[in-house]
């Protein structure tokens, strides 16, 4: 049976031979997928077709909703069709008209799928190319009856067709298709700890993808569970933004016998169509680095007015990258721990690991996830794994029900190894033919190796364990005193007066310095050429008139400069009167690991270098009120960095001589 599905898929895809020349390769899927769905649905409905048509005659006059319920019961399915027509009865004339009326006769949940496939437009295009009858006939003779191919294998067949479609249109594929190897790895990691649970009889579990695409993750989850236990039921839920991907996903779920009403169309972030639902398993590959400007108001409002009652209580990332919003959306869908909790697998780019300093939206989201002990593992993948980008990517595994021994621990697994000299150490293999940006894939044995590393939960070359606090730090503000020395030179005085004049001339070009001199002008003229003054107090005592604080600031800016030998400046008034005045230009931040005392760190790392520095104790964390603002980051690469000594100079010289020789030879050939 396993072989059977790929043969069926190949047979169906061979319709492409008819389309070649009239349609582009990237359009084949838009024809083949809806026709496959149509043929499968009519095969599934065949046994009850006569009953439905008979019943339809008696309920025609009823309200639409009541009619739908009764006819679904007659069909013994969640969908039905009231037409006497099928693909074998389209005739040779008026084929387009007959086919359209046949599709229109489906129940609304199935008809909507064909509408989102833009199928009626496809029918017209095929008709114009004089291919409609041939294509319909080819599908009419393909046996897709459930007794020949069950829901599970029909699902595999349909997925194979989706994959072929993705690969034939890979310029846009990346947005809606996650490569199969990545799907398999993420699914295996999410289900890894639950193998025993999933083998129980009559078990019903839910799986959800908020960025469902064409349904790859939902299908993979179902396959995984089916392989472990074909009696376990997994109900699939999802939401997708792109109408065509939504149609493919919904078609796939209908083919698998799922309730298609659980698949929704729309933007998950701004318009969650499953707001009250919680799920057992969640898988997602949200778009990388996509901005959320369009939905910014809705999300800001949810964060501001609903807080933790909504999805984004922890914080908001910068508008240029919404991937952490999807992660928080998933966390909000977790079942409470006492109901068994939930497990999440999400694919993210590198930025959610470290973007944003202490107190930023990103850092606060990481803080929430780590302090609530939700992050179980992060796996770095090789580059060049996706159809539409070659960037570094990571699989995050989260749960609110960690197994014993994993509490407060985060495992980092480095599967991004790229060892040119010993390729056997790598987790990827190069593909024979690249697909868009995807040049590498994870073979089955390497997926097993990653899952094993994860399952063993031990320190190894490519696996490291950390207490979550090791990713945290406090950002303290280190101040140094203001120490100013003053020297009045002719050049400085000219710059000071010129700047002053420029400002005046904006109001009135007629004003002269003589008529309206700047503050302290005559006193400054007397100080030109005098020795350097090492004290602000002493410098200001040289002026005859009373100076405003703005004028003092201007004089210090032009004539004062930092000097470690100068007298320390003290605050003259206000609540900090008598305290040392900090120099804003020398202000610095230090990140103190959360696992250390701020004072001990300061005495060890700062004071030996700047003995007169102090910590600004007014800068406290909003949540815990302690000195320093808490931040979290996960510097993944730093933990797996391996120092490689540079090559010795003799080797480099040899290489340079070799290259120089080749260049000289090429130049001689050009000249000769």
Cα–Cα dist 191/343, whole Å: 8
The count of residues in the chain is 672
Q: Which has more pLDDT, 53 or 388?
A: 53
Alpha helices in 340-443 (DSSP H): 351-354, 361-371
pLDDT tens, residue by residue, 136-191: 999 999 999 999 888 888 888 888 888 888 777 655 544 567 888 999 999 999 99
Domain membership flag for residue 256:
no
Of residues 233 and 586, the one with the higher pLDDT is 586
Domain total in the chain: 2
CA distance 513 to 499: 11
**Tell me, what's the pLDDT at 273?**
96
Residue 518 has a pLDDT of: 83
Q: Give the residue-averaged pLDDT of 231-235.
A: 83
Check: CB of residue 302 under 8 Å from CB of residue 312: yes
Question: Is pLDDT larger for residue 194 or for residue 148?
Answer: 148
Strand-pair partners of 510: none
Which region holds residue 116: left if phi is over 0, alpha if psi is between -120 and 50, else beta?
alpha
Q: Does residue 87 lie within any of the structural domains? A: yes
Q: Let me know: does 501 contact 400? Beta carbons within 8 Å.
A: no
What are the backbone angles phi and psi of residue 533, rounded to the nearest 5°?
-100, 125
Residue 351 is assigned to a structural domain of this protein:
no
**Number of alpha helices (DSSP H) and beta strands (DSSP E) in the chain:** 27, 17
DSSP secondary structure, 155-189, as one string:
HHHHHHHHHHHHHHTHHHHTTT---HHHHHHHHHH
pLDDT on residue 672: 63
For residue 82, is it within any domain?
A: yes
Least confident of 212-226, 549-563, 658-672: 658-672
Give the pair of three-digit tokens for residue 584: 């804003």
Q: Average pLDDT for residues 73-89, to the nearest whole number?
A: 91
Residue with tokens 């007397």: 526
Given this model, what pLDDT does residue 562 score? 94
Please identify, among 168, 203, 236, the residue that sits at the C-terminal boundary of a domain. 168
Query: Can you give the residue range of the structural domain that contains 560?
Result: 481-584
Strands 393-399 and 375-380: antiparallel
Q: Each residue of 486-511: pLDDT tens digit?
A: 999 999 988 888 888 888 777 777 77
What is the SS3 assignment for 177?
Answer: coil
What is the per-residue pLDDT for 387?
78
Return the bridge partners of 86, or none.
none
627: which 2 tokens?
Answer: 């000195």
Closest C-alpha to 334, from 326, 324, 342: 342
Rounded to whole angstroms, the Cα distance separating 198 from 208 reads 17
> Which H/E stretch holds residue 27?
none
Helix (H, G, I), strand (E, B) or coil at 670: helix
Give the pLDDT of residue 499: 85
Cα–Cα distance, 426 to 418 (Å, whole number)? 6
Residue with tokens 């320093």: 628
Q: What is the mean pLDDT of the chain?
A: 89
What does the pLDDT read at residue 1?
39
pLDDT score, position 4? 62
345 by DSSP, 3-state: which? Answer: strand
CA 186, 189, 192, 193 dihedral sign is negative
Whether residue 277 lies inside any domain: the answer is no
Task: Rank 6-10, 327-331, 567-571 by mean pLDDT and report only the highest.
Answer: 327-331
Final residue in a domain of this structure, among 138, 168, 198: 168
**pLDDT per residue as tens digits for the range 390-402:** 888 999 999 999 9
User: At residue 3, does pLDDT exceed 60?
Assistant: no
More confident site: 255 or 448: 448
* Assigned domain for 323 exists: no
d(CA 516, CA 41): 92
Closest among 281, 118, 79 to 194, alpha carbons compared: 281
Six-digit token string for 262: 């659980």
User: ∠ CA 30-31-32 to the nearest 5 degrees?
Assistant: 100
Beta strands in 223-351 (DSSP E): 233-240, 263-265, 281-284, 343-349
Task: Round to whole Å and give the CA distance between 542 and 323.
Answer: 60
Cα distance between residue 484 and residue 474, in whole Å: 31
Distances (CA, A) of 463 to 111, 453, 620: 49, 7, 35
Question: pLDDT tens-digit profile of 509-558?
Answer: 777 777 778 888 888 888 988 999 999 999 999 988 788 888 898 899 99
For residues 271-297, average pLDDT: 93
Could you read off the pLDDT of 572-627 as tens digits, one per residue?
888 888 899 999 999 999 999 999 999 999 999 999 999 999 999 999 999 999 99
Structural domain contains residue 94: yes
DSSP class of residue 80 equals -
* 239 domain residue, yes or no: no
Q: Which of residues 537, 563, 584 is at a domain's end?
A: 584
What pLDDT, on the 0 to 100 scale, is given for residue 545?
79
Among 292-306, 326-340, 460-474, 564-578, the range scoring the smallest mean pLDDT is: 564-578
Q: How far is CA 203 from CA 196, 218, 231, in A?
A: 12, 17, 8
SS3 content of the chain, % helix, strand, coil (to 5): 45, 15, 35
User: Beta 281-284 vs 343-349: how paired, if at all?
Assistant: parallel
> What CATH number does the domain containing 20 carry?
1.20.1260
By the 8 A CB rule, do 147 and 47 touch?
Answer: no
Distance CA 235, CA 163 (A): 23
**Per-residue confidence (pLDDT) for residue 2, from 0 to 100:** 45
pLDDT > 50? residue 451 = yes
Output the pLDDT for position 434: 79
Residue 38 predicted with pLDDT over 80: yes
| Distance from C-alpha of 327 to C-alpha of 299, rounded to nearest angstrom | 14
How many whole angstroms separate alpha carbon 443 and alpha carbon 448? 9
Mean pLDDT of 356-369: 95
Beta-carbon contacts of 470 under 8 Å, excluding residues fewer than 6 positions away, are 593, 594, 595
Place of tokens 């919680």: 278
């Amino acid at each position: 049976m396993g072989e059977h599905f790929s043969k069926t898929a190949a047979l169906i895809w061979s319709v492409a031979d008819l389309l070649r020349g009239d349609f582009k390769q990237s359009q084949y899927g838009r024809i083949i997928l809806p026709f496959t769905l149509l043929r499968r649905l009519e095969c599934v409905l065949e046994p009850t077709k006569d009953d439905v048509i008979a019943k339809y005659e008696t309920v025609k006059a009823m309200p639409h909703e009541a009619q739908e319920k009764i006819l679904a019961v007659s069909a013994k399915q969640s969908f039905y069709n009231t037409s006497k027509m099928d693909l074998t009865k389209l005739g040779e004339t008026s084929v387009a008209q007959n086919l359209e009326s046949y599709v229109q006769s489906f129940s609304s949940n199935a008809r909507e799928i064909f509408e989102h496939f833009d199928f009626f437009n496809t029918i017209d295009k095929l008709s114009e190319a004089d291919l409609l009858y041939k294509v319909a006939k080819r599908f009419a003779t393909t046996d897709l009856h459930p007794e020949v191919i069950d829901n599970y294998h029909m699902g595999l067949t349909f997925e194979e067709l989706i994959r072929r479609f993705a690969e034939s249109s890979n310029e846009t594929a990346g947005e809606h298709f996650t490569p199969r190897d990545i799907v398999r790895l993420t699914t295996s990691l999410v289900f890894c700890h639950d193998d025993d649970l999933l083998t129980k009889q009559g078990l019903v579990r839910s799986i959800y993808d908020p960025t469902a695409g064409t349904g790859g993750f939902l299908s993979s989850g179902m396959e995984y569970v089916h392989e472990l236990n074909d009696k376990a039921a997994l109900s699939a839920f999802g939401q997708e933004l792109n109408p065509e991907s939504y149609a493919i996903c919904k078609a796939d779920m209908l083919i698998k016998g799922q309730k298609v009403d659980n698949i929704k169309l729309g933007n998950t972030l701004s318009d969650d169509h499953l707001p009250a639902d919680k799920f057992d398993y969640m898988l997602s590959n949200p778009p990388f680095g996509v901005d959320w400007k369009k939905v910014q108001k809705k999300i800001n409002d949810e964060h501001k007015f609903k807080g933790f009652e909504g999805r984004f209580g922890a914080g908001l990332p910068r508008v240029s990258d919404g991937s952490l919003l999807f992660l928080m959306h998933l966390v909000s869908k977790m079942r409470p721990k006492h109901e068994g909790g939930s497990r999440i697998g999400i694919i993210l780019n590198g930025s959610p690991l470290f973007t944003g300093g202490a107190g930023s939206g990103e850092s606060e989201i990481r803080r929430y996830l780590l302090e609530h002990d939700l992050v179980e593992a992060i796996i770095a993948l090789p580059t060049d794994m996706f159809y539409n980008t070659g960037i570094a990517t990571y699989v995050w595994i989260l749960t609110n029900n960690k197994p014993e021994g994993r509490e407060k621990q985060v495992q980092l697994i480095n599967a991004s190894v790229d060892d040119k000299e010993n390729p056997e150490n790598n987790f990827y293999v190069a593909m024979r033919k690249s697909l868009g940006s995807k040049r590498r894939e994870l073979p089955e044995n390497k997926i097993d190796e990653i899952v094993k590393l994860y399952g063993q939960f031990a320190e190894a070359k490519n696996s490291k364990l950390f207490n979550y606090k090791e990713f945290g730090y406090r950002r303290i503000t280190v101040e140094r005193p203001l120490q100013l020395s003053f020297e009045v030179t002719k050049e400085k005085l000219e710059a000071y007066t010129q700047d002053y004049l420029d400002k005046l001339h904006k109001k009135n070009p007629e004003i002269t310095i003589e008529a309206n001199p700047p503050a302290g002008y005559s006193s400054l003229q007397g100080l030109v050429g005098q020795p350097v003054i090492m004290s602000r107090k002493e410098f200001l005592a040289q002026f005859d008139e009373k100076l405003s604080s703005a004028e003092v600031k201007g004089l210090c800016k032009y004539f004062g400069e930092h000097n470690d030998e100068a007298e320390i400046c003290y605050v003259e008034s206000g609540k900090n009167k008598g305290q040392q005045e900090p120099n804003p230009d020398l202000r610095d931040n230090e990140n103190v690991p959360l696992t250390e005392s701020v004072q001990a760190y300061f005495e060890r790392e700062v004071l030996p270098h700047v003995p007169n520095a102090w910590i600004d104790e007014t800068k406290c964390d909003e949540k815990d009120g302690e000195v320093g603002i808490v931040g979290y980051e996960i510097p993944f690469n730093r933990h797996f960095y391996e120092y490689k000594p540079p090559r010795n100079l003799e080797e480099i010289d040899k290489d340079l001589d070799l290259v120089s020789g080749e260049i000289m030879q090429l130049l001689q050939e050009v000249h000769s």
